[in-house]
Amino acid sequence: MLDVLTLDQLRTFVAVAESGSFRQGATRLARAQSAVSHAIANLERELGLSLFDRAGHRPRLTPEGEALLANARDILLRVDAMRARARGLGQGVELELSLVVDTLFPLDLIGAALAEVHATYPTVAFHLDVAPMGGPASALLERRSTLAIMAGEDFRDPRLSFTALSPIEQVAVVADSHPLARQPADRPLDVAQLFDHLQIVLADPTPMSEGRSFGVLSPQTCRVGSQEAKHAMILAGLGWGRLPSWLVARDLREGRLHRLDTSALGRGGQTRYEVYLAHRLDQPLGPAARTFAKALAESTG
């Protein structure tokens, strides 16, 4: 009997489960409520079990429905990915390539890859944004971008495809004029010492990190919206924070910044993240996007 299941039934099941009612599911699908109810009833009959408990004012997923919802979502994602790939195989060159880059990633590598795309497809326009934390993932999920460079594992989503590029390091630093720079070199800093000083941290422009904290140790914080602002505030001696090693290499070499030796933020105050090139599973990559992906992988591999 399972061979007669249809994608329409699965989409209807997911729509009703996510919207919380048959009426809202029908609105979401732009269909009559009776057609939605009929599709769910047929699906339940073919599966031989009840997906929703209809005893209350609003339908609630049964334990069996909860268990099968993840399967239904997975099937639909895979089908959408196959359709996207099929469209991409016959797709012409894009009019525009949009990209959002995590603020931790060096833009010179992005520029070099885009230069290769431009040399091959000179008619393609580019739209480039830089965003911290959940910004790149949000841009993909909201369909504001074709590609995103994402650092770390904190904002993964099953609707996105990830390709590892290279690791990137962050180091805890402070200005030469800051009191923490005067600590003895042979005595690592503990959390209590960091706790007493202002920490410069990036603010997430999205709600994706709501209720979560990423390496914030001090109750005294200055939240900024860009890596450049964070760098400037730390250089000014306002507080301490973590910055990409590629960004602070010269400052460290010339003595404007000092590394903070603390195991509270990785060994020796250093942490490493994997960087990924991401795109939506259901959004095909055209020739320009594929060229960019290949050029970036070759420059970071």
For 97-147, what is each residue's pLDDT tens digit?
999 999 999 999 999 999 999 998 888 899 999 999 999 999 999 999 999
Does pLDDT of 257 surpass 90?
yes
* Chain-centre distance for alpha carbon 292: 19
Q: What's the mean pLDDT in 65-82? A: 88
Q: How far is CA 118 from CA 81, 113, 136, in A?
A: 27, 9, 22
pLDDT band at 91 (very low <50, low <70, confident <90, very high): low
CATH number, domain 2-89, options 1.10.10.10, 1.20.58.220, 3.40.50.740, 3.40.50.11860: 1.10.10.10
- Domain boundaries in the chain? 2-89, 98-158+275-295, 168-273
Q: What global pTM score does this model have?
A: 0.73
Indicate if the pLDDT at residue 187 is higher than 80: no
Say if 98-158+275-295 and 168-273 have the same CATH topology.
yes
Mean local confidence (pLDDT), 242-266: 92
The Cα–Cα gap between 205 and 201 comes to 13
What CATH class is the domain 98-158+275-295? alpha beta
pLDDT greater than 60 at residue 232 = yes
Residue 269 pLDDT > 90, yes or no?
no
Residue 85, pLDDT score: 64
Q: Per CATH, which fold does 168-273 belong to? A: D-Maltodextrin-Binding Protein; domain 2 (3.40.190)
Percent with pLDDT over 70 in the chain: 95
Q: For the stretch 210-222, what's the b/e string if a residue is b when 16 or more beta carbons lie within 10 angstroms of its beta carbon?
A: eeeeeeebbeeeb
pLDDT at position 185, please?
67
